[in-house]
Amino acid sequence: MKEYRLHALICAGTGCVASGSLDVKEELEKEIVKQGLENEVRVVTTGCQGFCERGPIVIVQPGDIFYQSVSKKDIPHLVEEHLLKGRPVKELMYVPGPEEAPVPTMMDIGFFKHQRLTVLKNRGRLDPENIEEYIGFDGYRGLEKALAEMTPEEIIREIKDSGLRGRGGAGFPTGLKWELCRKSPGEIKYIVCNGDEGDPGAFMDRSVLEADPHAVVEGMVIGAKAIGTHKGFIYVRNEYPLAVKRLKIALSQAEEYGLLGKDILGTGFDFSIEVAQGAGAFVCGEETALLKSVEGKVGRPRPRPPYPTEKGLWGKPTTINNVETWANVPAIILRGAEWFSSIGTEKSKGTKIFSLVGKIKNTGLVEVPMGITLREIVFDIGGGIAGDKKFKGVQLGGPSGGILTEEHLDISVDYESLTGAGAIMGSGGMVVLNENDCMVDTARYFLNFTQEESCGKCTPCRIGTKRMLEILDRIVEGRAEEDDLEKLKTLAEKVKKYSLCGLGQTAPNPVLTTLRYFEDEYKSHIEEKRCPAKVCKHLFKYVITDKCTGCTLCARNCPTDAIEGEVGHMHKIIQEDCTKCGTCLEVCPVNAVEAVDNE
Amino acid sequence: MKKLKIGDLEKIRDKARRTSSLRQNKARARVTVHMGTCGIAAGARKILTALLEEVGKKNLDDVIVTTSGCAGLCSREPMATVEIEDKPPVKYVDLTKEKIKKILNEHIIKGNIVKEYALAIGSERTTLK
């Protein structure tokens, strides 16, 4: 057995790969050979560490030393100082704020310190393309226990007792769903993993599939035994090439080891998994549309009941769970329902993964216990609002969710509390907004998305969302009439009530919650033709004030030549030519450019 | 690859645990070889290589071998610090390949400090709490 004294874990999640982690890895390996350390230091590529904003990320073990934004040119110094001489390199460490000391270890960084990992426990610590590493970190122990020691009923009982609820958004009790499917009459049954993550800004499922694909596979085999099925499908969108690749590697390794396929672990149980790649239609995240897509038909929803547990794939009883739900299963079986239900709140057990994005200092992927407050997520983990702006709200649950405000910062993050406040847990997208965000524009952005993604099958969603969007367009362009707000509200209620599937039923949520908490902003747009946040381009203008020193920087950078003035003299914006791109505001060295209301 | 049966997973787990133990923070002992410029000049690399080989040969998966900078006593390099769980650290000086092997066998495995090579027991005082 070869012993290494150091492991350098380099993140190879999509985020870090995009910022160049594979080049860094190559350089690291080269430099290690150059220093003669190839027998002492092992380089391991891992899944996403979650702190994507600071990528490429390298962690050195033992010691838990965390390096961020590592580039190729940093490598020779890093290898010589840390890997050879054992002196961690301060320049590459996380610095919490100006004039603060660098933080060497991962667990002392606020972003990591306040997280509690269950599903993502293996992120950043094992190589997702190597099944033996997964096995080494307690992988497939839950499966072994389920197949060798438990009856299907016992597995279902354990999942029911754990209190696990669907992580795809609606929060249906997982054990109950399994039981319904098991009791559904029929020889042939299926299970499906929903990996069709389509919310803008959400990447929880992608990250789980990339960082720990075997956890999903293991969860599904356990579920298959409980439900009594021999065939499963994992539905992933084609836009996730790395997730698809790692998943396929995991499936073939699991088959090779006898953990999938015929006679699993010699127990006589057969189960195989097929990957179904989706083309990226948002509606296919809705379970009945997804099942159609797996069957090779156009992905469109149908009315429920019958629910998939009675009539699913090819009319057979089918259990469909989200990626994160499946990935929770192995740990519950291994550690028991009691352990799992000790985490979280009374009705929401365990942890939840959120993708924390928007106007926040630390963006990335976070896993937290249910019951944590929004404030802890936004301020303790996220580090607060970037650029010292004022917090305005959080958009939770993507285009199907709602916006919560400052007054909700202390509510508990669990299914019931979020729904009560008008948002949803959703799959876990969390977009933080600051004072420079216009709520009307934000609502319009999400509605524009759902309107485009509406499959067109039912009228309320197809036409309703279109008409709502037209009203919002009028509002942001300053063409709205007094009664438009009332029309918008009525239409939103109708679309919510009468749409066929979850897409249409939730599409009005961003509009409804912004109307509930920020009606003033809508009124400013409609009655005063004014956008308080200065976002809606038709409702404000840029002017140059007398702070201008005549440096010409704005005029030289203006893409439409809409600024005139001579060196040393005050400049002026020609309003007719201005596209309000904001470049002048950004480049002005003396803050002489201001956004003001139209007269 | 032969298909696994119930129980076979534990063998893979054992093997995999050893290769990944560094990442599980479960070590009984830690040996720090001081690799400042002075240490390297005095031959610390050879000490480190010999130590790693021996740890590998003996399959000691609960021992972490690591490096750090100069320990301050450059004239007595190569140096190493041995820390056993719950015991104060021991600093060894003027090391050779043979000495480090003896330290591994006597101190790390059996728990007896090799007094004739040891400089001191305990850590330096710092201004930090």
Q: What is the pLDDT of residues B19-62, one digit of tens each?
A: 666 676 667 888 888 887 778 888 888 999 899 888 888 888 78
Q: What is the SS3 string spanning A4-53?
A: CCEEEEEECCHHHHHCCHHHHHHHHHHHHHHCCCCCCEEEEEECCCCCHH
Total count of domains within chain B: 1
Residue B9 covered by a domain = no
Contact between B22 and A137 using a beta-carbon 8 Å cutoff: no
Q: What is the pLDDT of residues B98-114, one digit of tens each?
A: 999 999 999 998 888 99
Of B16, B23, B34, the CB nearest to A125: B23
Contact between B6 and A258 using a beta-carbon 8 Å cutoff: no
Chain A residues with CB under 8 Å of B9 CB are: 135, 140-141, 144, 265
Contact between B3 and A258 using a beta-carbon 8 Å cutoff: yes
Using CA atoms, how far apart are residues A172 and A161, in angstroms rounded to an integer? Answer: 14
- Does one domain contain both A383 and A396? yes
Establish if B64 touches chain A: CB-CB under 8 angstroms: yes
Contacts of B90 (CB under 8 A, 6+ apart): B81, B82, B83, B107, B113, B118, B120, B121
CA atoms in the 13 A half-sphere facing the CB of A192: 31
Total count of domains within chain A: 5
Contact between A133 and B1 using a beta-carbon 8 Å cutoff: no
Establish if A35 touches chain B: CB-CB under 8 angstroms: no
* Alpha carbon of A450: minimum distance to chain B alpha carbons (Å): 43
Interface of A with B in 51-110 (CB under 8 A): 61-64, 84-87
Residue A170 covered by a domain = yes
Using CA atoms, how far apart are residues A61 and A44, in angstroms rounded to an integer? Answer: 11
Q: What is the SS3 string spanning A390-437?
A: CEEEEEECHHHCEEEEHHHCCCECCHHHHHHCCCCCCCCEEEEEECCC
Domain that holds residue A402: 351-434
Q: What is the pLDDT of residues B71-89, one digit of tens each?
A: 777 778 899 989 887 788 8
Q: Alpha-carbon torsion A468, A472, A477, A478, what sign?
A: positive
Under the banding of pLDDT at 50, 70 and 90, the label for residue B125 is: low
Interface of B with A in 69-88 (CB under 8 A): 69
- Does one domain contain both A409 and A430? yes
**Cα separations (Å) of B44 from A26, A34, A41, A231, B39?**
27, 18, 16, 58, 5
- Does one domain contain both A163 and A303? yes
Residue B81 covered by a domain = yes
Establish if B23 touches chain A: CB-CB under 8 angstroms: yes
Residue A154 covered by a domain = yes
Residue B95 covered by a domain = yes
Contact of A31 with A67, CB cutoff 8 Å: no
- Does one domain contain both A238 and A315? yes
Using CA atoms, how far apart are residues B27 and B46, in angstroms rounded to an integer? Answer: 23
Q: From B15, which residue of chain A is nearest by alpha-carbon distance?
A: A136
| Last-in-domain residue among A410, A434, A458 | A434
Residue B14 covered by a domain = no
Residue A119 covered by a domain = no
Among candidate residues B11, B78, B91, the one with its CA nearest the CA of residue B47? B78
Among candidate residues A534, A596, A543, the one with its CA nearest the CA of residue A571? A543
CATH, residue B92: 3.40.30.10
Chain A residues with CB under 8 Å of B66 CB are: 5-6, 62-63, 86
Using CA atoms, how far apart are residues A473 and A539, in angstroms rounded to an integer? Answer: 12
Given this model, what pLDDT does residue B129 score?
40
- CB burial of A363-373 (b: ≥16 within 10 Å; e: otherwise) equals bbbbbbbbbbb
Residue A545 covered by a domain = yes
Using CA atoms, how far apart are residues B68 and B77, in angstroms rounded to an integer? Answer: 13
Cβ-based burial of A83 (10 A; exposed 0-12, middle 13-18, buried ≥19) = buried
Contact between A144 and B18 using a beta-carbon 8 Å cutoff: no
Q: Helix A174-183 to helix A152-162 angle, to the nearest 10 degrees?
A: 150
Of A61, A84, A265, the CB nearest to B5: A265
- Does one domain contain both A413 and A495? no
Residue A532 covered by a domain = no
Using CA atoms, how far apart are residues A72 and A385, in angstroms rounded to an integer? Answer: 30
Of B5, B49, B56, the CB nearest to A1: B56
Among candidate residues A226, A223, B111, the one with its CA nearest the CA of residue A234? A223
Contact between A266 and B6 using a beta-carbon 8 Å cutoff: yes
- Does one domain contain both A198 and A308? yes
Mutate to test the interface with B, among A85, A129, A149, A252 (most CBs of B within 10 A): A85
Of A5, A64, A85, the CB nearest to B65: A5
Residue type, A55: G
Using CA atoms, how far apart are residues A404 and A408, in angstroms rounded to an integer? Answer: 6
Q: Is A38 left (phi over 0), alpha (psi -120 to 50) or beta?
A: alpha
Label the pairing between strands A391-396 and A402-405. antiparallel
pLDDT along chain A (599 residues), means of 10: 81 90 94 90 89 90 89 94 88 86 82 88 86 92 96 98 92 96 96 93 89 96 98 95 94 96 96 95 94 95 95 97 97 96 95 93 91 95 90 92 93 93 86 95 96 96 97 96 95 97 95 95 96 96 95 95 94 95 94 92
Instruction: State the virtual CA torsion across A358, A363, A369, A375 in degrees, nearest 10.
Output: -50
| Last-in-domain residue among A527, A552, A586 | A527
Establish if A39 touches chain B: CB-CB under 8 angstroms: yes
Q: From B66, which residue of chain A is nearest by alpha-carbon distance?
A: A5
In the predicted model, is pLDDT for residue B2 greater than 80? no
CATH, residue A384: 3.10.20.600
Residue B8 covered by a domain = no
Residue B126 covered by a domain = no
- Does one domain contain both A255 and A196? yes
Among candidate residues A279, A520, A499, A539, the one with its CA nearest the CA of residue A400? A499
Given this model, what pLDDT does residue A393 score?
95
| Last-in-domain residue among A293, A323, A341 | A341
* Alpha carbon of B11: minimum distance to chain A alpha carbons (Å): 10
Mutate to test the interface with A, among B67, B77, B85, B128 (most CBs of A within 10 A): B67
Label the pairing between strands B80-84 and A540-544. unpaired
Using CA atoms, how far apart are residues A534 and A441, in angstroms rounded to an integer? Answer: 10
- Does one domain contain both A140 and A233? yes
Domain that holds residue B46: 27-121
* DSSP calls for A93-114: SB--STT---B-BGGGSHHHHT
Establish if A138 touches chain B: CB-CB under 8 angstroms: yes
Label the pairing between strands A190-195 and A318-322. parallel
Give the pair of three-digit tokens for residue B95: 């090391």
Of B1, B23, B35, the CB nearest to A61: B23
Using CA atoms, how far apart are residues A359 and A385, in angstroms rounded to an integer? Answer: 6
H or E element in which residue A318 lies: strand A318-322
Using CA atoms, how far apart are residues A446 and A454, in angstroms rounded to an integer? Answer: 12
Residue B6 covered by a domain = no
Q: Give, as one character, the DSSP assignment of residue A532.
A: T
- Does one domain contain both A197 and A278? yes
Using CA atoms, how far apart are residues B108 and B104, in angstroms rounded to an integer? Answer: 5
Contact between A3 and B64 using a beta-carbon 8 Å cutoff: no
Contact between B6 and A147 using a beta-carbon 8 Å cutoff: yes
- Does one domain contain both A391 and A466? no
In the predicted model, is pLDDT for residue B127 greater than 70? no
Residue A249 covered by a domain = yes
Residue B15 covered by a domain = no
Q: What is the SS3 string spanning A547-568?
A: CCCCCCHHHHHCCCCCEECCCC
CATH, residue A100: 3.40.30.10
CA atoms in the 13 A half-sphere facing the CB of A113: 14
- Does one domain contain both A247 and A223? yes
Q: What are phi and psi of A303, to 5 degrees?
A: -65, 145
Residue A173 covered by a domain = yes
Residue A419 covered by a domain = yes
- Does one domain contain both A427 and A444? no
* DSSP calls for B25-90: T--SEEEEEE-SHHHHHTTHHHHHHHHHHHHHHTT-TTEEEEEES--S-GGG-S-EEEEETTS--E
ipTM value, please give it: 0.74
